[in-house]
Amino acid sequence: MRAFVWGWGLVLFGGIVAFVVLDWDDGQVPSEQKKLLEIYGSQISGYTDGVRRWHVEADYVWAGRSKTIFSLESIHDGELFNEQGQKILTSLSAATLKVNSRNKVMMADGHLKATLLRRDMGPTESGRRTGPTQVRAGSLRYYASEDMVYLTGDVVIVRDEVVIRPRNQVMVNVSSNVVTMRDGAVLDSPEFWVSSNRMTLSVDDHVAVMDFGVVGRRKPLLTKRGTVARGDSREQVLRQKPTRFSSDRLTYHLLDDHDVGVMLSGNVMIIQPDKKISGREATYFEKSQSFAISGNVQLRAMSLNWLLDKKRKSKFVNKEMAEGIGQPVTLNCQRLFFDAKKKTVLAEGGVVVIQPARKSTSWALFYEDHSGRLELLGGVTVLRKKRDTLSSRTMFVNVLNESVRADENVETEFTVE
């Protein structure tokens, strides 16, 4: 069988035809006038060095004078395999498909659908599987000699509730099981909308990487009734408006326990209605509702009202504390952590808080919402009105009972008017 000389075997099954050997000269794609072989309800498989590389089921298969070119119509199932025989694509359907066994090329067109598979389909560490990666496109080109699949024509990639819309051609590396979108894409999920100028998707690792001009937003999270899904009054107000962000790179993790993890890196900027946060790297996990940003972090806010629950503390007796809550604030540090479930904020590393009437420095700052407790820890210095200074090892402020206490190595310096 000459096809095996080229390292590509073909086996056809259908109707009363069990095995067909073709030995024609290579030629062009066959035309309707030159059909020399027709099979209805057929399956066709291709092999390289004894390893199956593809398998297709179609309602109709035909061939002309060429020994290597086959045409298929109404494809209702198809599979692609890598060099190790691992299945990487399944459930292929299309209107038409052509196979060139000598050049090891497959071309499918028309209403194409397929599923990309993880090479390891066993249970994950959490004991759960993630959903399949579905693909829709106008056409598919498979080059077995290159181990590459090319998708074109309004390509859409769907993974669970995440929809990816590439701007142009999509390349699938059969060996690495990595999808590349060189011209960028838009990622749309219930939680995020993100655009970038380049994107890769690792089917095995459930990881999408977007880089070059990453811009996006976290959507308002609403219930079916159009109300904010969860959170206290402050979070409900915040979630009614999108959070916008930009960075050099975004890594989107669709983890096996369905916790969505987003990591931003390089020139990170996060903009909310009342504040801006910048840094080098940031991480957000939806299920645990935690957020961390690091590397020369700066938070600029119109006030500190976003920290307070107005149902528990609507006004202050202490005029200076009320003034401080309502003034603009800039916070600089190396690491900043928000935990929405515990309702805590932690800043670490060279913490500097600047307001018009005061400035504080410390190694760390911690705020706990339910107790209203603000702690400044390590090398605390507070400068008030650019003249009065208080320094200590620690300082505790309770915004609910409006108390302030400094502990250990307390020193004060003030100007008598």
Question: Which H, E and C letters describe 319-374, residue by residue?
Answer: HHHHHHHHCCEEEEEEEEEEECCCCEEEEEEEEEEEECCEEEEEEEEEEECCCCEE
Does residue 222 fall inside a structural domain?
A: no
Q: What is the mean pLDDT of residues 353-372?
A: 91
Does residue 199 fall inside a structural domain?
A: no
Q: What is the mean pLDDT of residues 255-280?
A: 84
* 318-322, 354-358, 405-409: which is most confident: 354-358
| Better-scored residue on pLDDT, 99 or 127 | 99
Residue 321: domain span: 289-417
- Distance in angstroms (rounded) separating the CA atoms of residues 291 and 233: 19
Q: What is the mean pLDDT of residues 313-336?
A: 82
Mean pLDDT for all residues in the chain: 81
Confidence of residue 416 (pLDDT cuts 50, 70, 90): very low
| CATH code of 358's domain | 2.60.450.10
Confidence of residue 108 (pLDDT cuts 50, 70, 90): very high
Q: What is the mean pLDDT of residues 360-386?
A: 90
Q: What is the mean pLDDT of residues 71-80?
A: 93
- What SS3 state is found at 37? strand
Which pLDDT value is given to residue 25?
38
Token pair, residue 311, equals 């149902």
Does residue 320 fall inside a structural domain?
A: yes
Does residue 115 fall inside a structural domain?
A: no
DSSP assignments along 132-170, one per residue: PEEEEEEEEEEETTTTEEEEESS-EEEETTEEEEESS-E
Which residue shows structure tokens 């190595």?
409
DSSP 315: -
The least confident of 28-37, 133-142, 151-160, 194-203 is 28-37
Does residue 360 fall inside a structural domain?
A: yes
Does residue 348 fall inside a structural domain?
A: yes
Helix (H) or strand (E) holding 4: helix 2-5
How many domains does the chain fold into? 1
The least confident of 16-30, 80-94, 259-273, 363-377 is 16-30
Does residue 230 fall inside a structural domain?
A: no
Write down how long the chain is.
417
Does residue 330 fall inside a structural domain?
A: yes
Tell me: pLDDT of 340 over 90.
Answer: no
- Count other Cβ atoms within 10 Å, centred on residue 323: 14
Helix (H) or strand (E) holding 411: strand 411-413
Which pLDDT value is given to residue 239?
54
Give the count of alpha carbons within 13 A of 326, CB side only.
Answer: 9
